[in-house]
Amino acid sequence: MSIHEECGVFGIYRREGECARATYFGLFALQHRGQEACGIATVNDLELSCHKDSGLVGDVFTDAILDKLAGTMAIGHCRYSTTGDNVRENAQPLTLKYVKGSLAVAHNGNLVNTEELKTEYNYKGAIFHTDTDSEVIAHIIAQERLNCGSIEQAIMNAMPHLIGAYSIVVMSSRKLLAARDPHGFRPLCIGQNGDTFVFASESCALDSVGAKFVRDVLPGEVVWVEDGKLHSILPKVLPKSSLCIFEYLYFARPDSVIDGQSVYGSRLLAGKYLAQEFPVEADVVIGVPESGLVAAKGYALESRIPYNDGFIKNRYIARTFIKPDQSSREMAVRLKLNPMKAVVAGKRVVVIDDSIVRGTTTKPIIKLLREAGATEIHLRIASPKFIAPCYYGTDVPDKEKLIAVNHSTEEICKMLDADSLGFLSQQNLLKTCPNATCDFCDACFTENYPI
């Protein structure tokens, strides 16, 4: 698997009490969405404070730092860089001061018209300190605020200029706001606990701070908390929603519910449909940690082949897809995953993974199972073939780097040294989210881009 996670955003408003520590817990729950950098910004008596750095949440923040971030509002961000280098300057939240006051922005997604907007605003005198599209969003909101009466209206006025994916949390000196692009590419939800309001990329982050799920932010909606009350505005006309379907397959935590659909339930169905499409005689079903595990259980339940833990994952090893060459990737896979010989030795094994992109990490996994004594390896993928890049915040590489573009299923199977290979069909992929209240973007599998 070589898909990078999305970013995670979090925001909290309390009439009384500090918010930085709650944001810290919220970011812990969202750490799977980005491990490169993180940050927290707070407002206390109209004063904005911020701390951010490269690294994991537990490394960047100490008790002493959190104690200094006093405030009744806070927003947080954990970052994976889809645009902009992985440097401290690009960490979020982004903060700025302008004639109307202070502003902090945290963003999940990716704009497709960043360069055009940067050129336009450079000629207007804007100075950009990072190379992220998130800073462009902050500048446009600030510019629009100069021409209207409220920050929420400024965000609404900025939306027509922003083409692409963005779920954002914004903090002014008096208001906590959240907004989702009109297509709803990236998830964003609302939670509440008494007079405390929370915005988060996933519902699992609400659970971490004791907030109850209220609803998802609607595509194109701006919501905000002011004086302890939740408010909302929507544009009059909205396009068809296009949530990234890979949120269910890979990005989100299994215990999250996104736009009405349980992530866990979606992955179970993916495994079920894989078993129906590609049955095989085998002795055990295993999943590739973490995102292949639930689909493997679904395959086992449908096929009645026993499920077992085929790998032990070392959670302290850096992700394999950032390694510069194949030999380094293979060594990283060995450090990250260790096969359970007692489970696979002498067995016909069905292996479930969420996707194949380049194939560079899948082949070492198959090799590990061979070395552990598996007699047959039947690879099943809980998504269709990747045939196109993504421009909305998922780091799917250029088309020529996608293994399925240049090779047939039979060729891929032989290249990976598997005994058989099956990809979930596009038809069954769309059936994995029966309770979803939205439509989906599946352009990486179909080349049908919403924008």
Phi, psi of 427 (to 5 degrees): -60, -45
Task: Tell me the C-alpha distance between 440 and 219, whole Å.
Answer: 12
| Cis amide bond preceding 93, omega within 30 | yes
Tens digit of pLDDT per residue, the chain (451 long)? 445 546 999 999 998 878 999 999 999 999 999 989 999 999 998 899 999 999 999 999 999 999 999 999 999 999 976 555 555 778 999 999 999 999 999 999 999 999 999 988 888 777 788 888 889 999 999 999 999 999 999 999 999 999 999 999 999 999 999 999 999 999 999 999 999 999 999 999 999 999 999 999 999 999 999 988 999 999 888 888 999 999 999 999 999 999 999 999 999 999 999 999 999 999 999 999 988 999 999 999 999 999 999 999 887 664 444 444 556 666 777 788 999 999 999 999 999 999 999 888 899 999 999 999 999 999 999 999 999 998 887 777 688 889 999 999 999 999 999 999 999 999 999 999 999 999 999 999 999 999 8
7 in active site: yes
**pTM, 2 dp:** 0.92
The position carrying tokens 């927290």 is 40
Task: Tell me the C-alpha distance between 265 and 116, whole Å.
Answer: 41
Cβ neighbour number for residue 217 with a 10 Å cutoff = 24
Q: What is the pLDDT of residues 67-106, one digit of tens each?
A: 999 999 999 999 976 555 555 778 999 999 999 999 999 9
Cβ neighbour number for residue 275 with a 10 Å cutoff = 24
Q: Of 127, 190, 179, nearest to 157 (Cα)?
A: 179
Task: Tell me the C-alpha distance between 409 and 73, whole Å.
Answer: 52
Partners of 197 in beta bridges: 13, 192
Task: Tell me the C-alpha distance between 162 and 451, whole Å.
Answer: 12
Catalytic residue among 7, 244, 441, 444: 7
Classify domain 8-239 by CATH number. 3.60.20.10
For residue 349 the two structure tokens come to: 């094994």
Longest dimension (CA), the chain: 71
Cβ neighbour number for residue 28 with a 10 Å cutoff = 20
Task: Tell me the C-alpha distance between 408 and 159, whole Å.
Answer: 41
Cβ neighbour number for residue 406 with a 10 Å cutoff = 11
Phi, psi of 66 (to 5 degrees): -65, -35
Identical fold at 8-239 and 262-446? no
- What is the residue type of 134? S
Domain residue spans in the chain?
A: 8-239, 262-446
Return the exposure string of 55-68: e unless at least 16 CB atoms fall within 10 Å of the residue's CB, then b: ebbeebbeeeebee
What are the DSSP E strand ranges found in 317-419? 337-339, 348-353, 376-381
In CATH, which of 3.40.50.620, 3.40.50.2020, 3.10.129.10, 3.40.50.2000 is domain 262-446?
3.40.50.2020
DSSP 419-447: SEEEE--HHHHGGG-TT-SS-EE-HHHH-
Cβ neighbour number for residue 54 with a 10 Å cutoff = 17
